[in-house]
Amino acid sequence: MKKMVGWLMSLVLVLSLAVTPAASAISKENDAAPGDNKLHVQFVLFDGFDLLDVIAPYEVFAAAEMYSEGAVTVELVSAEGKRSVPSGLNGPSLKAEAKLDPDRPGIIVVPGASGKPAGNSNDAIPSILWRAKETSLTDLMKRAMDNEDVTVATVCGGSLLLAMDGLLKDRHAVTNSIGMDALKAAGAIPVDARVVEDGPRLVTGGGVTSGLDVALYLVERELGPQIANTIEKLFEYERRGTVWKAEGIAPIDFTSQEATKKEQPASSASNAEK
Residues 6+ apart with CB under 8 A from 43: 54, 57, 58, 74, 75, 76, 77, 109, 111
Residue-averaged pLDDT of the chain: 88
Handedness of CA 200, 163, 116, 111 (dihedral sign): positive
99-108 pLDDT, tens digit each: 999 999 999 9
Residues 6+ apart with CB under 8 A from 244: 172, 174, 191, 193, 195, 196, 197
Nearest to 62 by CA among 71, 48, 74, 51: 74
Residue spans of the domains in the chain: they are 42-269
192-208 pLDDT, tens digit each: 999 999 999 999 999 99
Model pTM score? 0.84
Residues 6+ apart with CB under 8 A from 240: 194, 210, 213
Q: What's domain 42-269's architecture?
A: 3-Layer(aba) Sandwich (3.40)
